[in-house]
Amino acid sequence: MRTVGRTSLVDGAIAELRQEITSGAWPVGSKIPTESQLATTLGMSRLSVREAVRVLVHAGLLTTRQGDGTYVTASDESQVALRRRLDRAAAMDIIDVRRGLDLVAARLAATKRTAGDLGLMREALARRTAAVRSGDLDGFADADVDFHLLVAQAAHNPVLADLYRSMSEALRDSVRNDHCMERAVQDSDTSHDELLAAIEAGTATTAVSVALDILDQQEHDL
């Protein structure tokens, strides 16, 4: 890796980091050097390095794990683009199925939920909020899916709950890949709290409307 000159520092850093990835010097799955180490090697500020890393994370070549570091996730941006198209197609299939399930789950939960059901849903949303604050994507996905599964369970229809449970892993992947946490961080999304409030109030029409709004937003984010 070469020292980057003062002209177009961020662009130069992006080019150098991309070269390390595409050349195989940093293979897929490997952890890259820290911001401090890269700044020293490239002869630039950590702020410029951080921006370069952010660009490559957005491009899909890198991923940052909270409290752990940054890892190489792909070496070819064309492969990333193809994977994203395939992921979007799969995510749309999941959303289409969820429209039917979430509509029924929200409507029944609003009329059949118990105090115990509401307590479990509140706990799941608390974990979801904590994960947003700490930047824990896996924790966010787990809590988000747990909440929706609890809504289905609050419908007290075992067939519906089993159907939802069978989709849980696909739902987690969908939440991880669909920028749900990013939107929750940026927009202070309150839709899940609104869904819980409608279920607690027993207003089935509102619960259904909010549940479908959540899916419309998720589709928009793809």
Q: What is the mean pLDDT of each run of 10 residues along the chain (222 residues)?
A: 61 91 91 93 90 88 86 81 63 87 97 97 95 87 95 96 88 76 72 97 97 89 72
**Dist CA 196 CA 198 (whole Å):** 5
Delimiting residues of CATH 1.10.10.10 domain(s) in the chain = 9-75
pLDDT on residue 81 = 66
Give the residue from 90, 92, 192, 173 showing the smallest Cα distance to 132: 192
**Dist CA 70 CA 83 (whole Å):** 20
pLDDT on residue 178 = 64
pLDDT on residue 73 = 87
pLDDT on residue 105 = 97
**Dist CA 46 CA 38 (whole Å):** 8
pLDDT on residue 93 = 84
- The count of residues in the chain is 222
pTM of the model: 0.62
Class of domain 82-221: mainly alpha
Which CATH number is 9-75 given? Answer: 1.10.10.10
Token pair belonging to 102: 């979430």
Delimiting residues of CATH 1.20.120.530 domain(s) in the chain = 82-221
pLDDT on residue 94 = 84
pLDDT on residue 87 = 63
pLDDT on residue 1 = 61
The contacts of residue 88 (CB under 8 Å, 6+ apart) are 222
pLDDT on residue 6 = 46
